[in-house]
Amino acid sequence: MPVDRYSKDVLTPGWQKAHLKKTSDVQVELDLVVEFDDFCGAVVGWENGIVLLEDRRGKRRGAPFGPGFLLEGKPVALRPPLRGGSTKPKYTASGSRASTEPAKAKVALPSRIYVEGRHDAELIEKVWGADLRHVGVVVEYLGGIDDLPAIVAEFAPEPGRRLGVLVDHLVPGSKESRIAKQVYQGGYRDTVLIEGHEFIDIWQAVKPQRIGRKAWPSVPRDVDFKLGTLEALNLPHADQADIARGWQAILARVSSWRDLEPQLNTKVETLIDFVTQDHLADD
């Protein structure tokens, strides 16, 4: 049969855009990860026609509603949520999607997470408490890193009974790193995971912008970090009671993972994954 190569007019309306991918409308929602003008981030809010994105490093950028976004590599136009439409999904303080159904009580897993420092434990509970209860992981208070080898030996970790540990100032050459090495050399490398951040104290894991500063104050090594920080912030700094009140004021500024430095978020999520990985098949 003869081939008719000229039955179609290549200059019919729309030929200029025929090769382009079509843009689809997507209703905006929190934590939706999109790209805009070479910036990739999660949606953290929207107001007055502007969508606010935040990348993994905590950097934020605003972009107007409408076309120009990429979702999983495909062009989309972000649209405001419809009024009276479906209920906006709810999320926990750690960013996990919260269930709309009442959660059933769970038996605690044999695995545990130990957190060094009372302030550290309070911060973990505020941001990740709902997630930890959902998976049945109990967080224990670790009074000091010096106690860790004895705690690990008494806990006797094994497959299905893992131990995760979060400590302050875990940097090369520190006391914390030496004790972590001691634990691993005791034969627990497969069942114990020790994670730590580089901050001198958990206070610095809170973004300084949340207390109205560009950076946390620098405290001399011969000065107690917490008291020195409070003094630099022009807050009462005479005793332990002042430290407690100061920390509660800082903690009150934290409402979710977005108020924390990405480094801490990564460490905590890694620990939760580690202590629950033996139990995923049971869910």
Q: Are residues 197 and 268 in the same domain?
A: yes
The whole-number pLDDT of residue 122 equals 93
CATH number of the domain enclosing 40: 2.30.30
User: Are 162 and 268 in the same domain?
Assistant: yes
Q: At what angle do helices 175-183 and 148-155 cross, to 10 degrees?
A: 20
What is the mean pLDDT of the segment spanning 181-186?
Answer: 91
- Rounded percentage of the chain residues whose pLDDT exceeds 70: 83
Residue 6 belongs to a domain: no
CB atoms closer than 10 angstroms to residue 265: 19
**Cβ neighbours of residue 116 under 8 Å, at least 6 residues apart?**
142, 143, 144, 145, 165, 166, 167, 168
Split at pLDDT 50, 70, 90, the class of 104 is: low
- Indicate the residue among 79, 100, 128 that finishes a domain: 79
Query: In the predicted model, what is the mean pLDDT of residues 55-83?
Result: 86
Shared domain check, 138 and 41:
no
d(CA 268, CA 266): 6
Are residues 59 and 126 located together in one domain of the fold? no
Same domain, yes or no, for 188 and 121? yes
Strand ranges across the sheet with 60-64: 24-27, 74-79, 66-71, 33-36, 39-47, 50-54, 60-64
Q: Is 27 helix (H, G, I), strand (E, B) or coil?
A: strand
Are 129 and 35 in a shared domain?
no
One domain for residues 50 and 127: no
Q: What is the pLDDT of residues 21-45, one digit of tens each?
A: 578 899 998 888 899 988 888 898 8
> Which pLDDT band, with edges at 50, 70 and 90, does 272 fall under?
very high
Considering the domain boundaries, does residue 137 fall inside one?
A: yes
- Identify whether residues 124 and 169 lie together within a single domain: yes
Which amino acid is present at 33? V
Residue 234 forms part of a structural domain: no
Residues 194 and 137 in one domain: yes
Residue 58 sits in the same domain as residue 171 = no
pLDDT, average across residues 111-122: 92
- Please indicate, yes or no, if residue 51 is contained in any of the structural domains: yes
**Is 100 part of any domain?**
no
What's the rounded Cα separation, in Å, for the pair 165 and 272?
A: 10
For residue 164, being part of any structural domain is answered with: yes
In this prediction, residues 136-149 reach a mean pLDDT of: 89
Domain that holds residue 261: 112-206+254-277
Query: Strands 112-116, 138-142: parallel, antiparallel or unpaired by DSSP?
Result: parallel
Given this model, what pLDDT does residue 74 score?
A: 87
Specify the pLDDT at position 143.
85
Query: What is the predicted pLDDT for the residue at 264?
Result: 92
Assigned domain for 225 exists? no
Q: What is the mean pLDDT of residues 136-158?
A: 91
Average pLDDT, the chain: 84
Is the pLDDT at 217 greater than 90? The verdict is yes
Q: Is the pLDDT of residue 208 over 90?
A: yes
pLDDT at position 85 is: 46
Q: Convert the pLDDT of each residue in 70-95 to its tens digit.
A: 988 889 999 988 764 445 566 677 66
Q: Within this chain, do residues 262 and 185 fall inside the same structural domain, yes or no?
A: yes
Residue 96 lies in a domain: no
The confidence score (pLDDT) of residue 10 equals 44
Please check whether residue 116 is in contact with residue 124, taking contact to mean a CB–CB distance below 8 angstroms.
no
Name the band, by pLDDT with cuts 50, 70 and 90, for residue 158. very high
CATH number of the CATH domain containing 191:
3.40.50
Which runs of E-coded beta strand occur in 121-269? 138-142, 163-167, 192-196
Give the mean pLDDT of 248-261. Answer: 92
In this structure, are 73 and 192 located in the same domain?
Answer: no
Q: Per the structure, how many domains does the chain have? A: 2
Query: What pLDDT is stored for residue 106 in this prediction?
Result: 56
Q: How confident is the model at residue 230 (pLDDT cuts 50, 70, 90)?
A: very high
